[in-house]
Structure 1
Amino acid sequence: MRCPFCAHEDSQVKDSRPTEDGAAIRRRRQCEGCAARFTTFERIQLRELTVLKSGGPGEGGRREPFERDKLLRSVSIAARKRPIDPVRLEKLVSSIQRRLETLGEGEVTSQRIGEMVMEGLKGLDSVAYIRFASVYRDFSEARDFEAFAGTVEEVGRG
């Protein structure tokens, strides 16, 4: 593992343990060049996933590799300043990734991922759910928020 501080090629693992959600292994490493310490995460990947992005009118969609961190960022932005334990967000993203990997398909649409996120956030926090929906469904006016929010039931807090 290359050191992020000095780019030395070798590091020594000082400690390994599972993450709180049990979906990864957290490793503390020490660089053999500069002695700096850093953390890496190791996750299981069942298959390579490609996301088929929706194109504009008359355009074909583009393809890009699935990025778990990008999904976690999107969910975290929707949940910002909400009383949701970050471990629950990690579990949600891990659950979505696992479901996608077990579908048996190498390609998945961004729409399918968005629907899975909406389903997961709906059970966690109604405000995060509405925030995510506002971007995912491209709300353009205040009445879009009002109409959608009227369909949302309050959920228990995480």
Structure 2
Amino acid sequence: MRCPFCDHTDTQVVETRASDDGESIRRRRRCPNCDKRFTTYERIELSMPAVVKKNGSRVEFDRRKLRASIQLALRKRPVGAEQVDAAVHRIEERLLSLGLREVDSEKVGELVMRELKKLDKIGYVRFASVYRSFEDVDEFAEAIEEVSSRKARREE
């Protein structure tokens, strides 16, 4: 592991711990060259399916982009970072469980909407308005009715 401070190629592991969720390893490292310390995280890297966009182009799945779009929908809403991380994790697990090499962006969007519906109704409507490209107030009303109807309450 290279030192981020002096670019020395050999660093020493001082301490190793599993993260609280058990999904990653946290390592404290020390550079023998400049004597600075830094932290690295080690996670399993799984092969996520490529995302096929509406125009037919294919892009690599990007966890940061997924998280950013969920956070944007939940901006100024009372939803914690841990809940967002858990939702992103569930979406990733679902995509992996499909066992596909490619997945349509619509499928990813539907998974995001399902998670947002559980987390925050306002965030769900915000995301749906952009994802479904609402053209008028009636489409907003339908989305609001969807999350406030008795049927939606029974699904939770």
The question of a shared fold, defined as TM-score above 0.5 by the shorter chain, is answered with yes
RMSD: 2.5
Shift of 1:32: 4.7
Given the alignment, which residue of 56, 59, 66 partners 1:64? 59
Matched residue, 1:58: none
| Unaligned runs of at least 5 residues, structure 2 | none
Asked whether the equivalents of residues 16 and 25 of structure 2 are also in contact (C-alpha less than 8 Å), the reply is: yes
Secondary structure of the structure 1 residue equivalent to 2:106: helix
Q: Is the contact made by 2:113 and 2:127 (CA closer than 8 Å) also made in structure 1? A: yes
Query: Does residue 42 of the first structure (1) align with residue 42 of the second (2)?
Result: yes
Question: Cα distance, 1:123 vs. partner?
Answer: 0.6
User: How far 1:47 sits from its partner (Å)?
Assistant: 2.3
Give percent identity, aligned residues only.
47
| 1:31, distance to aligned residue in structure 2 (A) | 4.4
Q: Which amino acid aligns with 2:100?
A: E
Q: Is the 8 A contact 2:30 2:36 kept in 1?
A: yes
Residue in 2 aligned with 1:53?
53
Alignment partner, residue 24 of structure 1: 24
User: In the aligned structure 2, how far is the partner of 1:24 from the partner of 1:89?
Assistant: 17
Gaps of 5+ in 1: 56-60
Distance 2:44 2:145 in 1: 40
Distance 1:72 1:22 in 2: 20
Structure 2 CA distance for aligned equivalents of residues 142 and 6 of structure 1: 57
Moved more, 107-116 or 41-50: 41-50
The answer to whether structure 1 residue 113 and structure 2 residue 83 are counterparts is: no
Contact 1:12 1:32 in 2 (8 A): yes
Closer/same/farther in 2, CA of residues 149 and 131 from structure 1, 3 Å limit:
same
Higher relative contact order (CA 8 A, sep 6+): 1
* Larger Rg, first or second structure (1 or 2): 2
Q: Distance in 1 between matches of 2:28 and 2:130?
A: 37
Q: Deviations over 1:28-80 (max 9, x none)?
A: 4444554454444333233242111111xxxxx10011111111111111111
Report the alpha carbon displacement of residue 82 of structure 1 after superposing the two structures with TM.
1.0
TM-score by length of 2: 0.78
Aligned pair count reads 150
Between stretches 4-13 and 133-142, larger displacement belongs to: 4-13
